[in-house]
Amino acid sequence: FAPRCPLRREACDRSEPPLRRAGPGAHLSACHFAGELVGTGAGDVFDTAGADTEALARFADTPPSTHAEEDPA
């Protein structure tokens, strides 16, 4: 994923991060910097200027989903 991530840093190229919770009650994330990004939305990270805003609005209130049932820690 690192080559596609706009927040990529040197650590991302050196090692694969472990899968862990991004914050209390949060979804699972395999990101070295997930803790720093808690509360950050996709629009804060990705260029959404060309996004289909109607499609985005339909999912605005949809909570994130995860396939993991348990905390890996």
Any domain includes 40: yes
Any domain includes 42: yes
User: What does the pLDDT read at residue 72?
Assistant: 55
pLDDT score of 10 more than 90: yes
Q: Beta-carbon neighbour count of residue 34 at 10 Å? A: 19
**What pairing do the DSSP bridges indicate for beta strands 28-29 and 20-21?**
antiparallel
13-57 pLDDT, tens digit per residue, is: 999 999 988 777 767 889 898 888 877 777 777 776 666 777 777
User: What does the pLDDT read at residue 45?
Assistant: 76
Total number of domains constituting the chain: 1
The alpha-carbon radius of gyration of the chain (Å, integer) is 14
Any domain includes 43: yes
- The whole model's pTM is what? 0.52
Any domain includes 69: no
Any domain includes 29: yes
Give the structural domain span for 16.
Answer: 2-58
37-48 pLDDT, tens digit per residue, is: 877 777 777 776
**Per-residue 3-state assignment (H helix, E strand, C coil) for the chain:** CHHHCCCCCHHHHHCCCCCEECCCCCCEECCCCHHHHCCCCHHHHCCCCCCCHHHHHHCCCCCCCCCCCCCCC
